[in-house]
Amino acid sequence: MSIRHATVTAPQISEHIGEITIVAEDDAVVGIYYPGHWTKPDRSAFGPEVSHGSDPAIAAAVEQLHDYLDGGRDTLDFAMRANGSDFEERVWGILRQIPYGETLTYGGIAEQLGDRSLARMVGQAVGHNPLSIAVPCHRVVGADGSLTGYAGGLERKRFLLGLEGAIEENAPTLF
């Protein structure tokens, strides 16, 4: 089937987080990106554009994202695959384990990896997560609980964490 993408602006998505681009390869989603995403690959790597309703892998992701954004789902389990370095894969594995409605710090992830001094490298790996929302990098916060660095923008991070009940409306933000 190869690589292809769909740009999704359905009400449940655009109302809350704006347009997203979902990239699929074969039978799995390999990327979920926002406009202005910090680490979005060149669009030419996304392959041809398809209708999200006509592509089974993308359609499953869209349906589950709608349910999540409407508060009807707290896990996303559509077929997905992220390709990164061994270190990135380890970090992304930890991200997948952060429960809905909870947060973890960069330092906490570094400790799980066995070395708190890896926090900066953890931040880089989190920032390069290609599966926004699905691999919940929005659940990673600063050491003091502040909202820091989100490739899709801090307002989206605030919305997602608020949706999950993980933060209060007036949570501190570091720019």
Active site amino acids: 137
Record the tokens describing residue 158, joined without a space: 């605030």
Q: Are 50 and 4 in contact (CB under 8 A)?
A: yes
Record the tokens describing residue 135, joined without a space: 């691999």
The CB density around residue 102, as the number of other CB atoms within 10 Å, is 12
Residue reference for tokens 């990327």:
31
Q: CA-CA distance, 114 to 18, in Å (whole number)?
A: 37
Residue 44 gets which letter from DSSP?
G
Please name which of 75, 78, 66, 65 lies closest in space to residue 27, comparing C-alpha atoms. 78
C-alpha separations of 119 from 63, 106, 124, 162 in Å: 34, 5, 9, 24
Residue reference for tokens 């039978």:
27
Q: Are 34 and 132 in contact (CB under 8 A)?
A: yes
